[in-house]
Structure 1
Amino acid sequence: MDALLEFLTRFVSQLQSPTLGFLLGGMIIAALGSRLEIPDAIYKFIVFMLLMKVGLKGGMKIREAELSEMLLPAIFALAMGMLIVFIGRYTLAMLPNVKTEDGIATAGLFGAVSGSTLAAALAVLESENIAYEAWSVALYPFMDIPALVTAIVLASLYLNKKRGNGGESVKIWPIVKESLQGSALSALLLGIALGLITQPAPVYDSFFEPLFRGLLSVLMLVMGMEAWARLNELRKVAHWYAVYAFVAPLTHGLIAFGLGWIAHVTTGFSPGGVVVLAVIAGSSSDISGPPTLRAGIPSANPSAYVGSSTAVGTPVAIALGIPIYIGLAQALMGG
């Protein structure tokens, strides 16, 4: 009983963090009809800056890490990316009034990773002085790419069978290439590479680190406003998408948390690292995933998968998921 009370107390305190406050604030002012706008170019620049910061720190820490420490979490991240898509394929895609390719595309987007949600989680971890392996941000592509590839392959197989072209093969490399060229993953991988092969500490300490929290707050405000705007799109499709978008982030995150706990027990993966793994599993891609799926599954309805992710999935992942995973880590592992 004491452990449950402690968890609930920590959960409520997490909801009061400025990161989540700006997200909710954006939703509230949008609901009130505010005409406040943040130009798209500024939004993209902020995302780039945040992911470069995260990537630089991750790259610098990878140089100091034992690769064997990264192996099990990376395997779990890859497995989660694929598992999430299969879960969606055999739940959402089989529900009434849900087109199979729309359900698979939605599952693919929820299997892919949100860079902004990851940045929000890292800000909360640092504000709470919860240690995490900085290299854990490198788990992003291990989950993101397999999820998108799996979704496009499953959708292609389904559509080929539906059209009577069951023997037609699906090319994997173009999907991987499209994912790697996405703006979010490109920025993160560039940051990791520069952190690995250069000495970026001076520019990191003097430029990227001081700006991080302010830029993240603006990003959360924009995402809150976007989430409210996307609710109209979500109303155009089956209500099952809203149910899935609420349940899926927490379900995926808790499964990943369990896998992270296994890594914690067997390899010493930190409680903060377990939270990072859970957060990326519970997130849904908001930048690079949608264009990749539009190209890979052109018959799928973007209102279904983008509306589900932006209007419900991302707010749930940030406002509920992050506090839950941190509370669990503190209660179970003393993080």
Structure 2
Amino acid sequence: MDLNSLLGLAAGTLGSPVVLFFILGFAAALARVDLSLPQPIAKTVALYLMLAIGFKGGVGIAENGAGLASFLPLAVGILFSALFPFLGYGALRLTSSLGRTDAAAVAAHYGSISIVTFLTAIQVLSDRGDTAEGILVAVAAGMEVPAIVAGLWLAAAAGRPGDAAGVDARPALSIREAALNSSVVLLLGALAIGWFTGPAGMADIKPFIADPFKGVLCLFLLDMGAVAGRGLLQNRKAISAGPILFGLYMPLVGAALMAMAVWPLELSVAGKALMMVLAASASYIAVPAAMRLALPQANPAIYTTLSLGVTFPFNVVIGIPLYIALADMLFSVAR
């Protein structure tokens, strides 16, 4: 893909209503205008999006089959999620003044995934006529927990205050919470239902699952933009330049490593792009909840602001077009 094609893709992404509503919410928050949704509505919208994308992924598996090769991306995703926090931890310790506990907490976020970044990329790909394999939904769910385990191991290896019983109890609780958090349960549950009911099930509820999806995603990203902008505004003094730069270059590192891993896999352009999006994203739902339980001494202002206020906007506005362009290039080389 040449520079003109990349710029065209970037311009198309920036011109998407989904991205523009995110930018509106982000800019409004920086201007101290509150456009965020009430919490019950925001949770309902989030649950709808999880249900819709999980169900459509299950239908996709039912239509296309699920041989052994289709589960290779799941294995790659889980392995990446388990190992990438170690690279992130090392990078933070070398390039920032963060302490070991804070560095471990941040690194766990970058091994896990942002489901909203994933949903945004799916819509961008859909707008240009590309559809990914249904198994990618299972990959997204499978990449939640291994990064948390890695982050807790890093924190334990660095040494933490407290008695042995307290140290052992908190990680066990947080890992259970991560494995059973609502996004993972609903994604996998809807995936199973879509897989079981197949195209007939989709035909039954298509007016609910398919038609409103993009509009609901716009509303959700308006809210996420407001949340991200407000968090960045409130916590900007708590973070130095080193961690902020980490929040910008680490997505590119993750996407590049994942690109090398998925190059030989039998995946569509959309599938390879979404694998890179997952590797480039950073959690701001499951992992923060786990870290608050397991590592209460880690500073939430640091890890939440980096994942939601720095990396998430970067990926939505700049990263997704780059990852799609790289997937286009990988697909053309593979052929």
Q: Same fold (TM over 0.5)?
A: yes
Q: What is the aligned partner in structure 1 of residue 214 from structure 2?
A: 213
Structure 1 residues 277 and 296, CA gap change in structure 2 (3 angstroms)? same
Offset of 1:53 from its aligned partner?
0.6
Q: What is the aligned partner in structure 1 of residue 317 from structure 2?
A: 319
Alignment partner for residue 272 of structure 1, among 245, 267, 270? Answer: 270
Paired AA for residue 328 in structure 1: L
Alignment of 1:1-335 (within 5 A): 3-63=2-62, 64-160=64-160, 174-198=173-197, 200-231=201-232, 232-263=234-265, 268-334=266-332
TM-superposition CA deviations, 1:137-193 (whole Å, max 9, x none): 110122221111111122122225x7797xx87897644421122122122122112
TM-superposition CA deviations, 1:90-137 (whole Å, max 9, x none): 111344431111111111112111111111111111111013212211
Structure 1 residues 96 and 125, CA gap change in structure 2 (3 angstroms)? closer
SS class of match (1:235): helix
8 Å CA contact retained: 2:175, 2:290: no
Give 5+ residue unaligned stretches, structure 1: none
Offset of 1:56 from its aligned partner?
0.6
Offset of 1:333 from its aligned partner?
2.1
Structure 1 residues 152 and 67, CA gap change in structure 2 (3 angstroms)? farther
Offset of 1:84 from its aligned partner?
1.9
Paired AA for residue 253 in structure 1: A
- TM value normalised by structure 2: 0.90
SS class of match (1:36): coil
How large is the RMSD of aligned CA atoms in angstroms?
A: 2.3
Greater CA deviation, 186-195 or 38-47?
186-195
- TM value normalised by structure 1: 0.90
Offset of 1:54 from its aligned partner?
0.8
8 Å CA contact retained: 1:105, 1:155: yes
SS class of match (1:90): helix
Greater CA deviation, 323-332 or 170-179?
170-179
8 Å CA contact retained: 2:85, 2:147: yes
In structure 1, how many angstroms separate the alpha carbons of the residues matched to 2:252 and 2:42?
26
In structure 2, how many angstroms separate the alpha carbons of the residues matched to 1:203 and 1:301?
47
8 Å CA contact retained: 1:55, 1:195: yes
8 Å CA contact retained: 1:59, 1:193: yes
In structure 1, how many angstroms separate the alpha carbons of the residues matched to 2:10 and 2:326?
9
Count of paired positions: 327
Give 5+ residue unaligned stretches, structure 2: none
Structure 1 residues 83 and 234, CA gap change in structure 2 (3 angstroms)? farther
Greater CA deviation, 48-57 or 19-28?
19-28
In structure 1, how many angstroms separate the alpha carbons of the residues matched to 2:10 and 2:278?
19
Paired AA for residue 180 in structure 1: A
Structure 1 residues 116 and 290, CA gap change in structure 2 (3 angstroms)? same
SS class of match (1:315): helix
TM-superposition CA deviations, 1:179-232 (whole Å, max 9, x none): 122122122122112223345324431201111101100111111111111112
The share of aligned pairs that are identical, in percent, is 26
